Amino acid sequence: MREVNKLDYSNYTKEQLIEIIDELMMLNKQLLLEKEQEARLDFAWTGNLGNWYFNIKTGNVVFNPLKVAALGYSMDELPRTVSYNFFTDKLHPDDYMSTMKAMKLNMEGKSEVYECEYRIMAKDGSWKWFYDRGKVTQRDAYGNPEFAAGIVFDITEKKEKEIMLESENKILEEQSITDGLTGIKNRGAIIEELKSKINQSLNYKSPLSIAMFDIDKFKEINDTKGHVFGDKVIKEVVNIISRNIRGVDSVGRYGGEEFLVILPNTSKESAYFVCERIRAKIEEFDFGEGFKVTLSGGVADYNDEGVIEFIDIADKKLYEAKNSGRNRIGI
């Protein structure tokens, strides 16, 4: 017959033994009560790290060893009595307040159950995701909570998958609105941005201007210098435009070598000066081996047109500039 390991209480003081006995009696009483009710915590399932029991008066917690094992501890590393703070002190700073609030609401009788997801620090300093569900199971004659119990799940793997999926979705979302060559907004995204700025302009009765730019004789650049060089020109032009507009302004690639710039709170006259500065910067820029590029542009201010009509006005001004000799801004 296998010998059963017995706990050694020889090093405990009388007071400690009395405290342990009282706590075990309360725990036993609580377990009997739950059995009689045939509704242990009203939960139809058990957490994969087992149950926990919280003596609210003493602040001590009885738990399944699987919980501390998941955190990288052995039972030998734990103090004789594990306090509530042993776990709460390890909560992630971003999760502490929400976790404490959920438990407080249940303690005060303002919620049926305490339920939350939180990160908790493991022994090696990494963060584990746990899901807790529990409730106060016993109150005194005055309604003060005495005992709580619940279940806990290790949901780290599930959360890591969710975070990875969110990251991948964010990348896909970015790709769907970003021009692959230049990294600025693509045609669809810049049009949506313009719709938003038009609404702001109408709401605040503020001026709004746009500019349409086009690289002069770009087909010749591709034909004579090659598409790799042509791509380099496009990226450098975008860099120059981006450096010469404000943080509140937006730029997007509208077509192959066409770019739409949105200038909120800007009159047509002020937009013209911004575009002239950009045109001059590009004209003086060395694109490699002394190669020079010029840019034409067209400016329009908003006057209650539709989005496409608004863009079309700037586009017409652009082609007026091109027909007038290129390397100039139409207004």
**Radius of gyration for the alpha carbons in the chain, expressed in angstroms and rounded:** 34
Q: How far apart are CA 169 and CA 162, in angstroms?
A: 10
Q: Which of 15, 23, 257, 269 is catalytic?
A: 257
β-sheet bridge partners, residue 135: 149
Tokens of 263: 């200038």
Give the phi and the psi of residue 165 in degrees, each rounded to 5: -65, -40
Q: Kindly state the tokens that stand for 103.
A: 């438990």
Active site residue 257: yes
For residue 186, the 8-state DSSP code is: -
DSSP states along 149-204: EEEEEE-HHHHHHHHHHHHHHHHHHHHHHB-TTTSSB-HHHHHHHHHHHHHHHHHH
E strand intervals along the chain: 51-55, 60-63, 114-121, 127-139, 145-154, 208-215, 250-253, 258-264, 295-301, 329-330
Residues marked as catalytic: 257
